Amino acid sequence: MATRHLGCGMADIIAPQTASPAVIRRSDYRPPAWLVPDIELDFALDPARTQVRATLTVERNGAHDGPLRLDGDGLVPVAIRVDGKVLKQDQWHLEDGTLVLPLCGDRHEVETLVEIAPQDNSKLMGLYASGGLLCTQCEAEGFRRITFFPDRPDVLSRYRVRMVADKSAYPILLANGDPVESGDLGDGRHYAVWTDPYPKPCYLFALVAGDLACNADRFVTMSGRQVRLGIWVKEADIPRTAHAMQALKNSMAWDERVYGREYDLDVFNIVAVDDFNFGAMENKGLNIFNSRYILADPETATDLDYDGVEGVVAHEYFHNWSGNRVTCRDWFQLSLKEGFTVFRDQNFSADMGSHAVKRIEDVRILRAGQFQEDNGPLAHPVRPESYMEISNFYTATIYNKGAELIRMMALMAGPERFRAGTDLYFDRHDGEAATCEDFVVAMEEGADLDLRQFRLWYEQAGTPRVKALLSHDPATATATLTLEQQIPPTPGQPDKKPMAIPLRTALFDSATGAHGRDEVLMLTEARQSFLFENVAHGPILSINRGFSAPVIVETNLSQPDLAFLAAHDDDPFARYEAMQQLMVNVLIGRIAGSPVGEDAVIEAVRGAITNPALDAAFVAEAVRLPSEAYLGDQMERVDPDAIHAARDALQQRIGAALEPLWRDIHARTGAASFSLSPAAKGARKLRNAALHYLVASGAADGPAIAFAQFSEADNMTERQAALATLANGGSEEREAALDIFYNRYASDPLTLDKWFQTQAFALHPAIVDQVAELGRHKDFTLANPNRVRALIGAFAANQWGFHQASGRGYALVADCIVALDRINPQTAARLVPPLGRWRRFDGARAAMMREQLQRILATPGLSKDVMEQAGKSLD
């Protein structure tokens, strides 16, 4: 070990305090100046005062004489030692929280001691207390709130973690990797030591201490290794962990079968906590979950919740390879792990259930979240160029559009070549911190693709618009498809280059109902034509089948053509899409004051619900009217009141015109007993759709039927849907059902969230008053992110309510952002984007939205999280 002398070359440059937060740029990436091959952490755990001793082996990386810089956020060193010697006050300094140590040698042992107070940590980043537990959240930059460390994902270390805690309050002590030692200390305290053999970035560090019970199981890997699985929850919640455990075992088997990826430790633990900023976290060998993605039973979880548990358990498990074994070089590469892992969890869920319905749901999520983001002031590329606060970049673009990029590559390669590409990627970069470019190169070589133009998908923000015009020449029996692409300007990117867009296409013969070859057309130019031969009859275009590219397609399909596709397209997504487009066209007509063509919609809905060949879950998706928000996206200027009125009226007409059918469906889909089979889930989904139309029809007994479903249901899927249907109206059953629901579930936080959320989503004229009152309810708290999202997050997504002309909805959300920012800036920042959509609204609304953004920005002591989002939203 080279130990030259300390204290030489002290560069005491104190960084000036800047008013607005610094911008971090991708182009500024430099390899780390120091590496940390090993770290030992020693925790004396206590909610009020935890001591953290960290011993780092540090190695100079390359030839330079720079100091060691260890990130810290709110930390004060109690003691610092280098190679065993205590440093004096003038041998170190803090720069904006970062500990700067001038070191002369190339390898040293650096020890720091800090004290932190988990119970005061309301940001839920770093080490914090949640419901009697102590737990950590380190991604993206939480580790620096626990100890001084180069907090960046390209510094990989081997961890040894020792925890000491009071044995009665914290009988269970968990960390990453494998348990190696534990015992009593004789003074009421005990200890445990865990080691993780796989070098990892600090954002994957985790520990949990608490009084937890375990659902224990095992999994035998493809090479025959035994893995001990544990899902750790409060004792009373153990019966609600079965679905998560099954999902975990299914995920492990699926990743072996589909990607050839085996689990690599002897232990895999999951812990559920009630207070959590996101869905879950993939810490190596110790995933920590928001309890809403672990706990499920028929009494409290909807089918959607069950699917959420399955999908998130899989997502975090899949990160063990796409994220942990191969991690990210820097946070600009976030989509490398998130886009790929979302793609993997989407396909897993499709394999576990219905491919058709899963694709429809995923596209709906993409359009509702990502298309809106891409079309506003916060639009950014899948691989961003700059950020102020990385927490703001856990976005639908990074996750969901990122997944679509992988999906397009998989489509272009085909299953076998895609697998060859991912094999090469994993093998080549195992143990490394990689980039999106590395993934693309592995795909080019392994899957034999030319992705030169495709790379633009990582660089250019904005949703491409594709115009598709099909013309037919009966004389030559040919059809010509002319495609034009246009990518709108986005912040910092006024001009765009044409992208490579794979569009799965088929031409239907309207006479025979059959279609020609289903092929992937590659649109690579701004304008391009494709010739189809042997097209005898007037063809009907089915394009972007399966939603092969994340683009907005405009066609010149007539309403009869759309009705044809809605009834005959054999690609389920395209069929659903045709139905949606049919509805959109009619609704846009109604909004513009001309309600024409509604009978075609009614007939298409009748066709779907009377077609015995269709599966119930698909029918339920197909007959659902596009959301108010989606309709807003189709308009130049969003008119929330006109949209609501038009949609409501069409719903009423469909309800009334097909009333006997809705009654019949509702009656015959009531199952004898609860099951999670795809057929049973589909039946519930269709039953809820039928109830919704039945109530919308205005039938006098509608509310009573809904109330009966609410009261008699043996599962939350039907109970909550009935409650939601009632919540939209003004019936006396509304208040009764809400009261019953509250009294039944007041002591179960996850289910009480549904009570808040159902009311916040309600299409009710008094919504703003109701949400304001719920904000003063004794069970409402800003300290719990799930509760905030259930009420305020849901309300901000309720287009009609949030955009009420009074502007009070805006003020309500802004008030919450300001208050929450002092407690939990990350969660506060995620409420800002709805206010940033002001350009899409009329002058009066836009002015009120801007006013709230300005008020937020003028708040003294604002976090950089909210400052970045509100500032960009005003630009």
- Sites of contact with ligand PHE (CB under 6 A): 137, 139-140, 277-278, 280-282, 315-316, 338, 394
With CB under 5 to 8 Å by kind, the binding choice for 277 among ligand PHE, Zn ion, none is: ligand PHE
Residue with tokens 């070859």: 517
Query: Beta-carbon neighbour count of residue 708 at 10 Å?
Result: 14
Q: Which stretch binds Zn ion (CB under 5 A): 120-128, 250-258, 330-338, 607-615?
A: 330-338
Q: Which two tokens stand for residue 485?
A: 């692409």
**Whether 309 contacts 293, CB under 8 Å:** yes
Q: Cβ-closest residue to ligand PHE?
A: 278
With CB under 5 to 8 Å by kind, the binding choice for 750 among ligand PHE, Zn ion, none is: none
Is residue 316 part of the annotated active site? The answer reads: yes
With CB under 5 to 8 Å by kind, the binding choice for 272 among Zn ion, ligand PHE, none is: none
DSSP labels for 14-47?
Answer: PPPPPSSPPPEEGGG----SEEEEEEEEEEE--S
Three-state DSSP state, 328: strand
Q: Considering the complex, what minimum distance in angstroms separates the CB of residue 263 from ligand PHE?
A: 17
With CB under 5 to 8 Å by kind, the binding choice for 139 among Zn ion, ligand PHE, none is: ligand PHE
Q: Which stretch binds Zn ion (CB under 5 A): 174-182, 199-207, 336-344, 675-683?
A: 336-344
Choose between 201 and 446: whose C-beta lies nearer to ligand PHE.
201
Q: Is the dihedral of CA 591, 596, 599, 604 positive or negative?
A: negative
Choose between 250 and 320: whose C-beta lies nearer to ligand PHE.
320
Q: Which of residues 337-376 bind Zn ion (CB under 5 A)?
A: 338, 341
Q: Please tell me which residue in 316, 404, 444, 868 is annotated as part of the active site.
A: 316
Q: Which stretch binds Zn ion (CB under 5 A): 32-40, 224-232, 331-339, 641-649?
A: 331-339
With CB under 5 to 8 Å by kind, the binding choice for 280 among ligand PHE, Zn ion, none is: ligand PHE
Choose between 123 and 666: whose C-beta lies nearer to ligand PHE.
123
Which stretch of DSSP H or E encloses residue 828?
helix 825-829
Choose between 198 and 662: whose C-beta lies nearer to ligand PHE.
198
Choose between 281 and 363: whose C-beta lies nearer to ligand PHE.
281
Nearest to 735, CA basis, from 764, 692, 696: 764
SS (H, E, C) 91-123: HCEEECCEEEECCCCCEEEEEEEEEECHHHCCC
Q: Considering the complex, what minimum distance in angstroms separates the CB of residue 153 from ligand PHE?
A: 11
**Whether 868 contacts 875, CB under 8 Å:** no
With CB under 5 to 8 Å by kind, the binding choice for 394 among ligand PHE, Zn ion, none is: ligand PHE
Choose between 46 and 282: whose C-beta lies nearer to ligand PHE.
282
Residues 6+ apart with CB under 8 A from 675: none
Q: Which two tokens stand for residue 60?
A: 């100079």
Q: Is the dihedral of CA 135, 137, 143, 145 positive or negative?
A: negative
Choose between 285 and 376: whose C-beta lies nearer to Zn ion.
285
Q: Considering the complex, what minimum distance in angstroms separates the CB of residue 338 from ligand PHE?
A: 6
Residues 6+ apart with CB under 8 A from 219: 226, 227, 229, 248, 249, 252, 253, 263, 268
Choose between 283 and 291: whose C-beta lies nearer to Zn ion.
283
Q: Considering the complex, what minimum distance in angstroms separates the CB of residue 109 from Zn ion?
A: 34
Residue with tokens 């060691």: 68
CA dist 752 → 211, 274, 534, 740, 761 (Å): 24, 13, 60, 12, 14
With CB under 5 to 8 Å by kind, the binding choice for 418 among ligand PHE, Zn ion, none is: none
Q: Considering the complex, what minimum distance in angstroms separates the CB of residue 303 from ligand PHE?
A: 22
With CB under 5 to 8 Å by kind, the binding choice for 545 among Zn ion, ligand PHE, none is: none
DSSP labels for 602-618?
Answer: HHHHHHHHT-TTS-HHH
Nearest to 58, CA basis, from 101, 97, 9, 5: 101
Q: Considering the complex, what minimum distance in angstroms separates the CB of residue 397 from Zn ion?
A: 14
- Angle at CA of residue 197, ends 36 and 127, nearest 5°: 65
Q: Considering the complex, what minimum distance in angstroms separates the CB of residue 316 from Zn ion?
A: 7
Q: Considering the complex, what minimum distance in angstroms separates the CB of residue 408 from Zn ion?
A: 20
Active site residues: 316
What residues line the site for Zn ion (CB under 5 A)?
338, 341
